[in-house]
Amino acid sequence: MTKVKICGITNKEDAFWASSLGADFIGLNFCKTSIRKVSVKNAKQIVETLPQYTSAVGVFVDESQEEIIKICKKVRINIIQLHGGENIEYCKSLKQKKQDFVIIKVFKIKQSSEIQNQGEYINSLYEAIIQYLPYIDYLMFDTYIDDQLGGTGRTFSWEIVAMLKELFIKNNIEIKFFIAGGLNEENVKDVIELLSPWAVDVASGVERLPRRKDFEKMKSFIRKVKSL
């Protein structure tokens, strides 16, 4: 069954309802420029209320490794989502420093209309990911929009990931990946049927305000995923 991550949680109430509705993960955003940023104190309070079946994910963007380790120790989380331009050496070093960290590395996908040579683009993505695999645990594919980090409400060309996945299968390489970027109750069935992702990640698609989730939207989204 596809797992669900509700990202951009900023308060205990939304965390409670997300977990009660069956979310497998909640995302706590520590990026300083994000509208959904949470303080360390707030994040700690949220994590303390979570049941065992829902795990917290710390979302970081080009943050120093020392700061990530410090925040995760205070908040008591060990799942890290690297959503910036963290390179292979960065991931390798972080994994060596904290072997108990579960690392999700985000790769942002362009729209087909923005890609001049699709075959070349997919091959370059494949080669890049191959180099990261020894030092990360999961991939996440999100929408590429210049100068925007995430939570944009826009999808990307899923067929790019479908072709990329076929390339990994062809080479007998197993990958587990999240799909993010513009997901909602209306389109999540389509992406799961096309890509069979290990997990789906939603933020703006279940919001009523940028820092508050919508109970009915979360319920509909999670039930749709779990029913497939």
pLDDT band at 154 (very low <50, low <70, confident <90, very high): confident
At 113 the pLDDT is: 78
Range of the domain at 185: 3-227
- List Cβ neighbours of 32 (8 Å cut-off, separation of 6 or more): none
- Residue 39 sits in a domain whose CATH number is 3.20.20.70
Residue 44 has pLDDT above 60, yes or no: yes
Mean pLDDT on 119-142? 96
At 217 the pLDDT is: 98
Report the percent of the chain where pLDDT is more than 90: 90
Mean pLDDT on 122-134? 97
Mean pLDDT on 90-99? 96
Residue 10 has pLDDT above 90, yes or no: yes
pLDDT band at 148 (very low <50, low <70, confident <90, very high): low
Please write the tens of the pLDDT for every residue from 14-31.
999 999 999 999 999 999
At 8 the pLDDT is: 96
Residue 150 has pLDDT above 60, yes or no: no
Q: What is the C-alpha to C-alpha distance for residues 58 and 40, in angstroms, rounded to an integer?
A: 10
Q: What is the number of domains present in the chain? A: 1
Tokens of 225: 């995923």
Please write the tens of the pLDDT for every residue from 64-90.
999 999 999 999 999 999 999 999 999
Residue 60 has pLDDT above 60, yes or no: yes
Residue 146 has pLDDT above 80, yes or no: no
Count CB atoms within 10 A of the CB of residue 27: 27
Mean pLDDT on 49-53? 95
Count CB atoms within 10 A of the CB of residue 17: 17
pTM over 0.85: yes
Residue 110 has pLDDT above 80, yes or no: yes
Mean pLDDT on 195-202? 98
- Yes or no: say if 43 and 131 are a contact pair by the CB < 8 Å rule: no
Average pLDDT, the chain: 94
